[in-house]
Structure 1
Amino acid sequence: MTTPDDRGELPDVLKDAQAWVRKLGSGRVSEWEAQAFRHWRDADPAHLAAFQQAARQWQLLERAASSVLSTNAEAARHHRRTLNRTPLGRRAFLGTALGGAAVAGIVAYSPLGMWPAAEQWGADYHTAVGEQRELSLEERVRVTMNTRTSLRRVSDQGESVGLELLDGEAAIEVSDAARSFRVEAGAGRAVATGAAGFEVRYLDGRTCVTCLHGQVGVEHPAGRRLLQARQLALYDGRMISEIANVDPEGVSAWRRGEMVFRQTPLPVVLDEINRYRPGRVLLVGETLRAKTVTARIKVADIETALLQIQHSFDLVARTFPAGVLVLS
C-alpha cells in the first residue's frame, strides 16, 4: 500500500476550508449551507485561518488558469460558456465570509478542476493525491482505493451491504459466496452475488466495471450485463455498453503503482497523470490532441515521464504556482 508523497496529505481543517471555498465560490449556496459555514468558521480560530489560506491558494490557481485562457482561444470560449451557465449572485457572500481577506481573484468555478467536488463531502473514506488505501468491511470484503477516490458506505439495518463510489477507482474482493455486495456509481451499480473480484472506475460521469474473477452483474436503467472474468462494461447517465473482453494486467496496473498506455491519445494520458500528481498538467494546442502515447509509467516517476513526453513531442513547458504545468 502506498502513502502520499513527501509533501504529505493536507490537514483535515484545510481540506474542509478548500471545500467551503469551492462551495461558496460556486454561487449555489442555500441559506442552511450559509449558516453551516458560519458555524464552522466561528467554531475555532484555526478554521478562519485555514479558510483564508485556502482562498489565497485559490487565487494562485486562478492566476494560472487566467494565463492559460489568455493564450488559448478554445479554452477561453469554453470558460465563457461555463461562466454563462453559472450563477454569480452569491459571490458577495464569499467576500463577507472571508472577513476582509483578499478575494478579487476568486472565480465562480473550480480552477482547473483541482479542488474537491461538493459531491465528495459525504464520503466515509477518501484518498489523497498519490495515495492508495486498503479497507476491510466485516471481514468478508476487502477494498483497495486508488488515488483521489471517495467512498460512502451503504448499509441496510446496520449491516454493510455495499459502497457508493463518489469519485475515483476501487478494487473489491468479496469472499462470502452466500451474500451479495454492491458498488453504486453514477446511474448504475455493480453487484457481486457470490465470491468475486472486480474493479469500478467512476470519473467525469462515466463508469467502467471490470470483472477479474467470479461473476459480477452491472445494473443500469438502460439494461443489465452479467460479466465473467476478464470482461468489462461501460455506462454513463444514459446508456450502457455491450460486454467487452479486457486485459486485466492493464486494468489493474494501478495496484502495482503503474499506468499502462497503448496508442492512447496524449490528452487522455495527461488526464490520468493528473490523478496522481499534485497540481495540474494542461495541454495547449489542438494539433497535439491527435498525438498518441504507448508507455508504461511508474507513478513514482511521473515527473521523469513528463520530461520524456516533452522531448518526444518537442513540447514547450511553462510552470506556474500550485504545481501547474502547461505544455504547448
Structure 2
Amino acid sequence: MLTRRAEPPLDPSILEEAADWLMRLSEHDLTDTERAEWECWKVSSPERSRAWSRAQLLQSKFGGLPPALAMSTLDRPSNPERRAALGKLALLLAAVPTGWGTWKLAQSQQWSADYHTAVGQRRELTLADGSRITLNTDSAIDVLFNTRQRLINLRAGEILVQTAPDSSAQPRPFLVSTREGRMQALGTRFTVRELEPRTQLAVLEGAVQVELADGRQTAPIIVNAGQRTDFSAQAFGQLNPTDSNVGAWTRGMLMADKMRLADFVSELARYRRGFVRCDPAIADLRISGAFPISDTQRSLNMLVQTYPVLVTGHLSGYWVTLSAA
C-alpha cells in the first residue's frame, strides 16, 4: 500500500500573507482591483496555492473566521490587535487540518473548567479544606468536594498540590484524577502533569497512591517522596528519582541542567503564545541555566548571548525559529 508523503512546512511569511487575505475577505468586500490582486496572489506559486487551500479548509470548518478573531476593530492594518490576531490566524493555518480540533478542545477545556489559566499565566488557589493548588500555564481543573471525597480533576496542564488535613467528622480522601488514572494523597505535596495519553507524577513530600483508569489487572502503586513516575491508562512507567527542579515553575523559573535544546524549547513554548521551532541541526545542543518563564523573550535573548544560537521571529513574534548562529 502506498503511503502519502508528508507535505513540507509552509514558509511563515506565506502563511501570514494567506491569513491577511483571509482576514481582508472577512472584513469587507474587495474592490475589483483588490480581487484581481488576490486572484493573482493565489496562483503565483505552489506554496501560496497550498496556503490558500488551508485557508479555505479553515473557513469551511469555522463557517468564516474563528469568533475570537472576527473583530470589527481589525480593519486597520496598523492596529496592534489586528497584528496579534493575524499571527494567531497564521498559526491556525499552519496547523490545519488539526488546528480546528485543537482550537475547540482548548476552548472547551479552559473556559468550562472551574479554574483555569491562560498561556503564560500561573494561579494559586486555597480550597475550602485549606489545601493549596497552584496551576501552571494553560491549565484547567474542576473541584468536587462532597461528603465522600475531595476530588480535583485535572483536565489539562499541570498543578502543584499541597494537601491539608480534613477536619470533617468523617475524613475524606484527597484525590486527583486525569484521563489516565486517579491519585490519592497520603498527606503530601506533589505535582501532576497531563500529557495525554500519559500522566506525569512527582512526589515532593509524603506519598501518593496511584490507580490506573483501566487497571483492572494492575494493582495500585505507592509513589513516595523523592520519586516520580508516569503512567498511561493501562500501565505504569518506571519509578525514578524526582528532579530537584520539578517545581521551579512555581517560582517563575525554567531550570536547565545540560538539557537538550529541543527539550528546552518544548518547555519554554508552553509559556509563550505562538509557535517555537528548533532546527534539528542544533536539537542536541546541551544548555544549562535559570530562565524566566514570565518573560520568554528574555529567555530567548539569554540563549543567544550564551550559546551559538540564532533566534528569528516571524508573524509579529508569534512564530520563532532557533537555528545555528
State the TM-score, normalizing by the size of structure 1. Answer: 0.64
Deviations 1:111-156 (A, max 9, x none): xx89935333421101123322121222332111112111112344
Q: Distance in 1 between matches of 2:87 and 2:105?
A: 13
Provide the rounded CA distance (Å) in 2 between the counterparts of 1:276 and 1:114.
Answer: 20
The answer for the alignment partner of 2:152 in structure 1 is 163
**What amino acid does structure 2 have at the position aligned with 1:326?**
T
**Which of 290, 299, 310 pairs up with 2:304?**
310
CA distance in 2, matches of 1:58, 1:236: 36
Verify the 8 A CA contact 1:136 1:142 in the aligned structure 2.
yes
Counterpart secondary structure, 1:152: strand
Instruction: Indicate if the aligned counterparts of 2:193 and 2:200 stay in contact, CA closer than 8 A.
Output: yes
Preserved CA contact (<8 Å) 1:208 1:232: yes
2:201 maps to which of 209, 219, 233: 209
**What's 1:44 paired with?**
none
1:136 matches 2:126: yes
Quote the offset at 1:108 in angstroms.
4.3
Distance 1:49 1:185 in 2: 30
Task: Provide Cα deviations, 1:161-208, integer angstroms capped at 9, x if missing partner.
Answer: 21111111111111216431111112112111x422111111353311
Any idea what SS the aligned residue of 2:156 has? strand
Distance in 1 between residues matched to 2:104 and 2:315, nearest whole Å: 14
Match of 1:150 among 131, 140, 145: 140
| CA distance in structure 2 between the partners assigned to 1:117 and 1:25 by the alignment | 17
Give, in whole Å, the separation in 2 of the partners of 1:175 and 1:325. Answer: 42
CA RMSD of aligned residues (A): 3.4
Seen in structure 2, the aligned counterparts of structure 1 residues 25 and 165 have a Cα distance that, compared at 3 Å, is farther
Name the SS for the 2:137 alignment partner: coil
Tell me by how many angstroms 1:295 deviates: 1.9
Q: Alpha carbons of 1:229 and 1:50: their partners in 2 closer, same or farther (altered >3 Å)?
A: closer
Task: Sort the Cα spacing of 1:195 and 1:65 in 2 relative to 1 into closer, same or farther, 3 A.
Answer: closer
- In structure 2, the partner of 1:98 is none
| Structure 1 unaligned spans of 5+ | 1-23, 35-47, 70-78, 87-106
CA contact (8 A) 2:149 2:173 kept: no
Distance 1:155 1:243, change over 3 A: same
How far does the alpha carbon of each residue in 1:83-108 deviate from its partner, in whole angstroms, 9 at most, with x for none?
4xx6xxxxxxxxxxxxxxxxxxxx64
CA radius of gyration, larger in: 2
Aligned partner letter, 1:61? K
User: 1:189: which partner in 2?
Assistant: 182
Give the alignment partner of residue 259 of structure 2, picking from 256, 261, 264: 264
- TM-score (norm: length of structure 2): 0.65
Report the CA distance between 1:26 and its aligned residue: 9.9
Q: Work out whether residues 137 and 160 of structure 1, in 8 Å CA contact, stay in contact via their aligned partners in 2.
A: no
What residue number does 1:245 align with? 241
In the other structure, the counterpart of 1:17 is none
Query: Secondary structure at 1:267's aligned position in 2?
Result: helix
Letter in 2 for 1:306: L
| Offset from partner CA, 1:58-96 (integer Å, 9 cap, x none) | 653343576xx7xxxxxxxxx6xx74xx6xxxxxxxxxx
Contact 2:119 2:271 in 1 (8 A): yes
Q: Percent identity?
A: 26
Match for residue 173 of structure 1 among 145, 153, 162: 162
Runs of 4+ in 1 over 4 A off after TM superposition: 24-29, 48-51, 54-59, 107-110
Give the Cα separation in 2 of the matches to 1:108 and 1:140. 39
Deviation at 1:292, TM superposition (A): 2.5
Q: How many residues align?
A: 247
Question: Any conservation in 1 of the 2:179–2:196 contact (CA below 8 Å)?
Answer: no
CA-to-partner distance for each residue in 1:4-53, whole Å, 9 max, x for gaps? Answer: xxxxxxxxxxxxxxxxxxxx959889xxxx9xxxxxxxxxxxxx985513
Is residue 221 of structure 2 the alignment partner of residue 225 of structure 1?
yes
